[in-house]
Amino acid sequence: MKVMTFNIRQGGGDRNERIIDSIASHNPDTLVLTEFRENKNSQFFRTRLSELGYLNSAVASIEKGLNTVCVASKKSFVPETFHKELNGEGHRLVVANFNEFSVVGVYFAQKQEKEILFNFLNDNALVLLNKKCLIIGDFNTGRHFLDEVGKTFHCAKEFEDLERNGFIDIWRSRHFETQEYSWFSYVGNGFRIDHAFASPDLNNMVKSVFYSHKERENGISDHSAMIIDFR
């Protein structure tokens, strides 16, 4: 089982075909697209993804032009959203419940506004940990001095609280002190903001995890893709 997350930047723009080509080259079983938008591109993505075998999909919100998160999979799942519980931030989370485990696709807000979504995840950690669970997507934050050079991240404590509450940062747990970045600012500062957290039993099933930087380096997006292969 291979899972990929990729921020497609503002709904894809005129990069749609290149985004699809990138997805096809990695051939994940399940895909989490962040900055997905219900606009002129959304039907293109649904059609092309269906042609690639992703017959099951769900989005956190169908509000026009809003940056949201989409999960698409070659396996069937039951979708779940939490608009009431997230108090206006429901477009930032969608859950795909498979028979074996759940994938929580997330797209966090900027600055301190992301606290609402972090609080929801941390408050529900015990429920999520009772089953095999993967939280994956664009967190827009990370660890100070490790996932960035300095100390600019908002909600870094809430980010680390996920581990304190029992989740495991899949990539960091295998690259303890490595600094590798998934997004760069316009002045060239690097940040690792695309992440995946797993319940311990699911983390034990990880065969490999890596960032594919060619998507960012070739201008397909301003983010690198993240791919996780499970046994």
Contact criterion met (CB below 8 Å) for 156 and 191: no
**Which residue carries 């300095």 as its tokens?**
150
Tens-place pLDDT, residues 178-229: 999 999 999 999 999 999 999 999 999 999 999 999 999 999 999 999 999 9
Our count of domains for the chain comes to 1
Give the pLDDT confidence score for residue 130 in this predicted structure: 87
CATH number of the domain enclosing 48: 3.60.10.10
Give the pLDDT confidence score for residue 164 in this predicted structure: 97
Range of the domain at 183: 2-230
Q: 3-state class of 190 per DSSP?
A: strand
Tens-place pLDDT, residues 29-77: 999 999 999 998 999 999 999 999 999 999 999 998 899 999 999 999 9
**Mean of all residue pLDDT scores within the chain:** 96
Contact criterion met (CB below 8 Å) for 37 and 9: no
Whether residue 231 is predicted with pLDDT greater than 90 in this model: the reply is no
Give the pLDDT confidence score for residue 40 in this predicted structure: 86
Give the pLDDT confidence score for residue 65 in this predicted structure: 82
**Cβ contacts of residue 170 below 8 Å, gap of 6+?**
196, 197, 198, 203, 206, 209, 228
Contact criterion met (CB below 8 Å) for 133 and 198: yes
Contact criterion met (CB below 8 Å) for 143 and 156: yes
pTM for the full predicted model: 0.97
Tens-place pLDDT, residues 89-112: 999 999 999 998 999 999 999 999
Note every long-range contact of 122-128, with CB atoms under 8 Å and residues 24 or more positions apart, other chains counting. Answer: 122/158, 122/161, 122/162, 122/165, 125/162, 125/165, 125/166, 125/167, 126/165, 126/166, 128/102, 128/104, 128/167, 128/199
